Amino acid sequence: MSNLANLYGPHLTELLARHRQLMQQNDIAYLVIPSGEPIRIYLDDMDYPFKSSFLFRTYVPLTELPHSYLIIGHEGKPTLVYFQPEDYWHVAPSDPEGIWPEHFDVKVISSQNQASQFLPENSENVAVLGQPTDITSQLSKAQINPPQLLNSIYWQRAYKTDYEIACMKLANEKAAYAHKTAEEAFRAGKSEQQIHLAYVEATGMMEHQMPYSNIVALNNHGAVLHYTECDSVAPKQMKSFLIDAGVSVNGYHSDITRTYSFQKDEFADLIEAMDEMQRGCIDSIQTGQPYLDLHVAAHLKIAEIIQRFGLVDMSPESMLESGVSATFFPHGLGHLIGLQVHDVGGQFGDEMGTANPPPEAHPFLRSTRNMEPGVAFTIEPGLYFIESLLKRHRDSNHASAFNWDKIESFMPYGGIRIEDDIVVQDEGVLNLTRDAFAKL
């Protein structure tokens, strides 16, 4: 953690410089950023698991601290109103400690109402960012989530500091170890639930602290892109395993997917071909390249694999143009990643937040940004055997080009997805995920 301590100060200094410049441009004297409040389950006495607002975590690595506030002016240390109740029903937050307290003017409060005394004067020159609360409602003249200011913050969020990259690096290393543990459980014939629990235990985290619900899919369940059912009984015949799972470190996430075949069979060969394609895709990245171009190129490469394995008798170019490749690869190539698994601003055209949506042919692409230095993305091509998509072609003009018997033989395996987290550099790409697996 000493390396993170050395990097955190410059990280915060850079953030404050960025955001204070935006405050001046938007005539904002103070930012008030709530950490958020737990949400009570309807007609119950329990809350949903709480995670601090990503806007709050932008500044401070307090991922589960409710009823707290950041107050940022044009100069000096930010004020952190730190809620530490006297509570014998739950574990109260510990005293402020770690790499961050020296950088803030910390005000510890034991009741929520005490936060009011630290608010700035009620003025239209105050901006509240995030979830409004009863406390921020006292700032009746304040601007609530002003779009122009937030869009600029979201645009800048894509460019990661050294501290942020270091946190994501650790998140990848922890996740890679847990992925290896999960693969071992799969090889031992465990159920989805048992594999999931092995993964969670290997991370040293609680389930609610995961960056997202783990996807642990055996056999044909791998064809459900967001499969989270987790059967407790192992299938009678183990064929394949797709796991999409990450880890969080100081609020920064990893998002890793791997696919395995239980036997050395043709599906294993298909996985190897997709793995080679994914690594080639990353190696081809050019600084300044539109992410959309990379996505389209990935479709063409996946179409080549589809043709090579005899699934469809069409040229790769025709598969791409006709939409046949999207039958097997229906999602986007990846997305921005950082404080959120799908970081905001992925479809911005500029700092003003001008919409830059994907083209109609690729509606599920989450990022249309350029591949610029310091920006973190995921690269996650897939190849799936999804009946609801395939059946559209059974009576289409292209039906005769499909090798339906070969496709049916792959249906029990579900599909393949391989996902790495990368950071674009001035020259080349930093692959956080492959580097993490290489250390195991």
Binding site: which residues? 244, 255, 335, 380, 419
Let me know: does 245 contact 199? Beta carbons within 8 Å: yes
| The amino acid at 89 | W
Run of H or E including 396: none
DSSP-based three-state secondary structure for 363: coil
- The dihedral built from the CA positions of residue 202, 206, 212 and 218, taken in this order, carries a sign that is positive
- Across-strand partners of 217? 242
- How many angstroms separate the Cα of 383 from the Cα of each of 153, 405, 435? 35, 17, 24
DSSP-based three-state secondary structure for 71: strand
- Chain centre to alpha carbon of residue 211: 7
Cα separation of 335 and 342, whole Å?
Answer: 6
Cα separation of 291 and 376, whole Å?
Answer: 12
Q: What's the alpha-carbon Rg for the chain, to the nearest Å?
A: 24
Binding residues for Mn(2+): 244, 255, 335, 380, 419
Cα separation of 219 and 237, whole Å?
Answer: 9
Cα separation of 216 and 199, whole Å?
Answer: 10
